[in-house]
Amino acid sequence: MDHLTISAPAKLNLALSAGAPNEDGLHPICSWMVTVSLYDDLELTRLPPDRFSRYAILWHGDAKRRREINWSVTKDLAVQAHLALQRYCRRSLPVQMKLEKRIPIGGGLGGGSSDAAAMLHGINKMYDLGLSAHDLASIGAEIGADVPFLVHGGSTIVEGIGDKLEPQEILPDLHAVIAFPEASCDTGAVYAGFDELALENLNPSAVRELAVSPPNSMPHEKLFNDLTAAALHITPALKDEMDCLESLVEFPVHLSGSGSSLFVICEGLDHASSMAELIERQLQLPAVAVRTVQPNTC
């Protein structure tokens, strides 16, 4: 196969519990994650064996929240995934990559990690490497904590430092609105704030209780994120935006990952679409309606 395009989905943390840092400074987590229908597009073209790989990263025309793409190409997680796969296979796998992003940078939605997962799947198929999803997830673990989950996608309880996955048999059919605040959150700073506020209380049972709830009776108001208080503490502007959003929609508003993206679980497609329009009109805050999806992993 000489050419393919892969959709790289965003993720939401429907529940996230975090504990005190390990000796290596990393915080153990237990999180219920799902993939949703907000995508980056990864386009790959196979190049002749004697060519060097080429990479282009840009915003898609309908991206809702754009920030400057100011990192070096070698720091991009999709590019790092390609290089890691070449090291694993001990051979050159030259491609031309065009990555068009819709998922905001640093929004807690796993965009870069999903791009990396899509790259692993794409190169595996393009070069007929025959690697399993487990193999790809193991390679992806060295790139980012969310990559192993996003290699699989769907609905999964993720533990440890992202390395322990417990896939759920049923992907709940959920609709939501994701809003993209102007404020941004640095993951390291959020975890530092988490430690400063002494919020460490790893509680896997609370995550599991939600994840096994019947989809039509899941208590949406009980979704939680242990990092929310820290994110709002270090980013007061985010707290203001979250308060305004909650007052407008009159539904619980949740933080995904370490922020800054906010989401609201809705009652269906029409509800999500109308809520996204309301948020954009009343708050001038970019928003998009999404639903849970099982990604196409080639």
Q: Just list the catalytic residues.
A: 11, 146
Instruction: Kindly state the helix (H) or strand (E) to which residue 139 belongs, with its residue range.
Output: helix 133-140
Q: Which residues is 155 bridged to in the sheet?
A: 34
Q: What is the DSSP string of 170-183?
A: -----EEEEE--S-
Nearest-angstrom CA–CA distance, 44 and 2? 8
Nearest-angstrom CA–CA distance, 111 and 90? 27
Residues in CB range of 37: below 8 A, 6 or more apart: 9, 290, 291, 292, 293
| Structure-token match 């709830």, residue found | 213
Nearest-angstrom CA–CA distance, 102 and 151? 19
Nearest-angstrom CA–CA distance, 256 and 262? 6
Q: E strands along 19-174, which residues? A: 29-46, 54-59, 95-101, 155-160, 164-167
Smallest CA-to-CA distance from 180 within 291, 283, 292 is with: 283
Counting beta carbons within 10 angstroms of the beta carbon of residue 221, is it exposed (0 to 12), middle (13 to 18) or buried (19 or more)?
Answer: exposed
